[in-house]
Structure 1
Amino acid sequence: MLEGKKILLCVTGGIAVYKMCALTSKLTQKGADVKVIMSESAMQFVSPLTFKALSKNEVYTDTFDEKDPKVIAHIDLADWADLILVGPATANIIGKLANGIADNMISTTLLAATSDVWIAPAMNVHMYDHPAVQKNISVLYDYGYRFINPGEGYLACGYIGKGRLEEPEKIIEHMEAHFKGEKKLLEGKTVLVTAGPTREKIDPVRFVSNHSTGKMGYSVAKQAAKMGARVILVTGPTHLTPPKEAEVFRVESAEQMYEKVMEYSSAADIIVKTAAVSDYKPVLTHEHKVKKRDGAETITFTRTKDILMELGKQKTKQILVGFAAETKDIDKYAQDKLKRKNADMIVANNISAAGAGFGTDTNIVTIFKRDGEKVELPLLTKDEVAEKILEQAYLLKEDQV
């Protein structure tokens, strides 16, 4: 996937510069054409000669050092790249880019870039969590930049927390998935998606349900189709229009959804269970409308089948993705669900947070993976969240090979 690809690395000042050296070497070994721009601070950690030797290309450090008089270097580099990666991205460069500041070779090149730009932050955990940094990250997401989120662990400052630059091997996995995506990342794969609420009838007039609108599941179905997959959509009652490429099965009750999902689960490579399935149903369903009477009315409920758990018990080659809509203790409940349901990924969100939850066009989620990796996403559209969920599921699927 990386053979002949033109990768521009923008290296800024942090101790994790050494990982960028390793990344340069690995990309070059995979056949990529790598060019490097270094900030003045980055050169305090590693000499430009190191990157020159590893990339077999000139290294750029000064906006006004024009190595080829026939071109303007920062414009030429911006036009040249198939993909640009900024790393280790400091709070400084993130702030500059978010606010349109162009005062060195890296920032001027980034403002001129038309290719995809990825940002791989690395800094102290408290710096990363600072409201100004998080605001700048959100601004850049809105601009269309993609982030390689930092990992957790021992930091150079002595703290233990989030802020480690992602490992070069993981960054390369993301790059390969990205370039394969140009050739339809999920081509040849079958993605089974559940969406919307279920309804459990009390009588012909009344039912028990929830606030799910199906927007997240329909976004997953739409993005999976765009990525080349055969899409099977099992949907509860919604007012949404499914993607025309999807095979759509409309159901109402949890039992109906269970039966349809089990019918198609063996054909799926990836199962994404976004549906908000009712946990309980009335023991007794009345054939005729229950008339209003004086006094209280009691309805006895029984558990519905746990579709995610059944899929977890029976799965063979499928990558199983569940959702956890919570209002507190998100990490605890999501990780517990990941283990109990034998899922490969749990996508968790706080439905009480502004911009997240049922009925919105946006979401804020954290993806918990079976290998312990945790991917936190900021406020994104549900289409963007769906794309990132499918990318992560694809990476897990590739690990099976």
Structure 2
Amino acid sequence: MLAGKRILLIIGGGIAAYKALDLIRRLRERGASVSPVLTRAAEEFVTPLSVAALAGANVHRDLFDLTAEAEMGHIQLSRSADLVVVAPATADLMAKMAGGLANDLASTLLLATDTQVLIAPAMNVRMWQHTATVRNRAVLEGDGILSVGPNDGDMACGEYGPGRMAEPLEIVAAIEGILDRATGPLAGRHVLVTSGPTHEPIDPVRYIANRSSGAQGTALAAALRDLGAHITFVTGPASVPPPQGVTVVKVETAREMLAAVEAALPAEAAVFAAAVADWRVTNAAERKMKKDGSGTPPALSFAENPDILATISQRAEGRPRLVVGFAAETDDVIAHATAKRARKGCDWIVANDVSPATGIMGGSENAVTVLTAEGAETWPRMAKDAVARRLAARIAEALA
């Protein structure tokens, strides 16, 4: 699977750097070529000679290599690989990536590359759990950086917990999965996915929302990613984490979601799985509302939120080739969804029954009917991941 693939391997400075030697060997025995980059700190753990011998290639170490930089070598190096792998990805390297720093060869390559990046974090458990690292991880995930590991286990320092770098074969498997996506049916295509609920404020501590967990939209974004698509994932405050390897845009309200959707265009397909609040409070209070002892509740006035699905479906310019909406209904599901598809102007509607007895809203399974210009197709109840994979395959077929 890796025959002929070019891997740019950045080795960070941690005790796990010794595993990078085995990783190089595993990659080369599968036919990949490896261009190794050593940070200064990494040279304290592995030698350039051992890395070069295993890689069968020169080791890149210095940003200010006059011979290489005469031809802008760091730019060439960052663009010539099929995948950039950082193993081990130390806390320092992750901080540099999250902050956009470029003060050595490794960080400059990571900032200059337009290639997908996979990191294999490795550090002390306290460093991994530190708020700064947690923040940096979230930034990198939002930027579409993929990761493998870390694993739980004994540390070189004698502590135990998450922070051990993934084993070389785990990293190889992750590399194979990523590069397999690059040849998938949606490779190179941009797909927009919305997910989760929206929160419409009543006052600073209260809001109007719904019971959507975001699980179906998240699963769908992951399934489309696995077919090779570049995903912009616009999500409200969901109870499930966003998938790795997608561009995440977090919003709160319906108006924020519409703005994020419009900013993400153009896209070849747009899938609107978010459960957007139909109304917002127009007289939301700037301070927490208090009971005044009269027993009279405060009077709330409402306005209709923008219709995101209809707005994008009816665009005169820049409309995605395929626009897919979702219809969460509690009665007359097919009739309501058919009317919604005609009213909104979208290509497909994915309808489901979310009445309390079904357990679908917030649950792990779904039962959907896909309505298109050709008619309605009802699928059996299945896990939301399975629904996502089946729908992603249909989208890929439609865009082929």
TM-score (norm 1): 0.53
Residue in 2 aligned with 1:166?
Answer: 166
| Aligned pairs (5 A) from 1:42-121 | 42-66=42-66, 68=68, 71-121=71-121
Deviations 1:311-332 (CA, angstroms, capped at 9, x unpaired): 9xxxxxx99567xxxxxxxxxx
- Assess if the C-alpha contact under 8 Å between 1:127 and 1:133 holds in 2: yes
CA shift, 1:37, in A, is 0.6
Residue in 1 aligned with 2:133?
Answer: 133
Residue in 2 aligned with 1:269?
Answer: none
- Distance, in Å, in 2 between the alignment partners of 1:76 and 1:247 is 40
Q: Indicate the SS of the match to 1:60.
A: coil
Deviations 1:29-73 (CA, angstroms, capped at 9, x unpaired): 111110101011111111111111111100111222345475233
- Distance, in Å, in 1 between the alignment partners of 2:273 and 2:97 is 42
| Aligned pairs (5 A) from 1:193-342 | 211-213=210-212, 215-221=214-220, 224=223, 227=227, 252=329, 280=357
2:91 is matched by which residue type in structure 1?
A
- Distance, in Å, in 2 between the alignment partners of 1:71 and 1:26 is 31
2:183 is matched by which residue type in structure 1?
K
1:131 is matched by which residue type in structure 2?
T
- Assess if the C-alpha contact under 8 Å between 1:177 and 1:185 holds in 2: no
- Distance, in Å, in 2 between the alignment partners of 1:62 and 1:91 is 21
Q: Indicate the SS of the match to 1:9.
A: strand
- Measured at CA, do residues 309 and 143 of structure 1 come closer, stay the same or move farther in structure 2, by a change above 3 Å? closer
Residue 8 (1) aligns with residue 8 (2): yes
- Assess if the C-alpha contact under 8 Å between 1:235 and 1:250 holds in 2: no
Give the RMSD, CA atoms, in angstroms. Answer: 4.7
Give the count of matched residue pairs.
268
CA shift, 1:277, in A, is 6.1
- Distance, in Å, in 1 between the alignment partners of 2:50 and 2:17 is 11
- Assess if the C-alpha contact under 8 Å between 1:215 and 1:240 holds in 2: no
- Distance, in Å, in 1 between the alignment partners of 2:13 and 2:30 is 26
Residue in 2 aligned with 1:23?
Answer: 23
- Assess if the C-alpha contact under 8 Å between 1:7 and 1:34 holds in 2: yes
- Distance, in Å, in 2 between the alignment partners of 1:72 and 1:234 is 44
- Assess if the C-alpha contact under 8 Å between 1:225 and 1:246 holds in 2: no
- Distance, in Å, in 1 between the alignment partners of 2:215 and 2:64 is 48
- Distance, in Å, in 2 between the alignment partners of 1:48 and 1:33 is 17
- Assess if the C-alpha contact under 8 Å between 1:9 and 1:84 holds in 2: yes
Deviations 1:130-157 (CA, angstroms, capped at 9, x unpaired): 1112222222233332222311111111
Deviations 1:186-223 (CA, angstroms, capped at 9, x unpaired): 99xxxxxxx999xxxxxxxxxxxx93347542453465
Q: Indicate the SS of the match to 1:62.
A: coil
2:90 is matched by which residue type in structure 1?
T
CA shift, 1:309, in A, is 9.3
- Assess if the C-alpha contact under 8 Å between 1:196 and 1:212 holds in 2: no
- Distance, in Å, in 2 between the alignment partners of 1:144 and 1:277 is 32
- Assess if the C-alpha contact under 8 Å between 1:27 and 1:172 holds in 2: yes
- Distance, in Å, in 2 between the alignment partners of 1:276 and 1:23 is 48
Runs of 5+ unmatched residues, structure 2: 188-194, 198-208, 230-271, 278-306, 314-319, 335-351, 368-380, 390-400
- Assess if the C-alpha contact under 8 Å between 1:196 and 1:276 holds in 2: no
- Measured at CA, do residues 48 and 185 of structure 1 come closer, stay the same or move farther in structure 2, by a change above 3 Å? farther
- Distance, in Å, in 2 between the alignment partners of 1:225 and 1:66 is 43
Runs of 5+ unmatched residues, structure 1: 188-194, 198-209, 258-274, 282-302, 312-317, 323-343, 345-388, 391-401
Deviations 1:257-285 (CA, angstroms, capped at 9, x unpaired): 9xxxxxxxxxxxxxxxxx9966658xxxx
State, as a whole percentage, how many aligned pairs show the same letter. Answer: 34
- Measured at CA, do residues 109 and 278 of structure 1 come closer, stay the same or move farther in structure 2, by a change above 3 Å? same
CA shift, 1:163, in A, is 0.2
2:139 is matched by which residue type in structure 1?
V
Q: Indicate the SS of the match to 1:59.
A: coil
CA shift, 1:97, in A, is 2.3
1:33 is matched by which residue type in structure 2?
S
CA shift, 1:228, in A, is 7.9
- Distance, in Å, in 2 between the alignment partners of 1:310 and 1:109 is 43
| Aligned pairs (5 A) from 1:183-198 | 183-184=183-184
2:88 is matched by which residue type in structure 1?
P
1:224 is matched by which residue type in structure 2?
A
CA shift, 1:250, in A, is 6.5
CA shift, 1:185, in A, is 7.2
- Distance, in Å, in 1 between the alignment partners of 2:382 and 2:30 is 28
Q: Indicate the SS of the match to 2:13.
A: coil
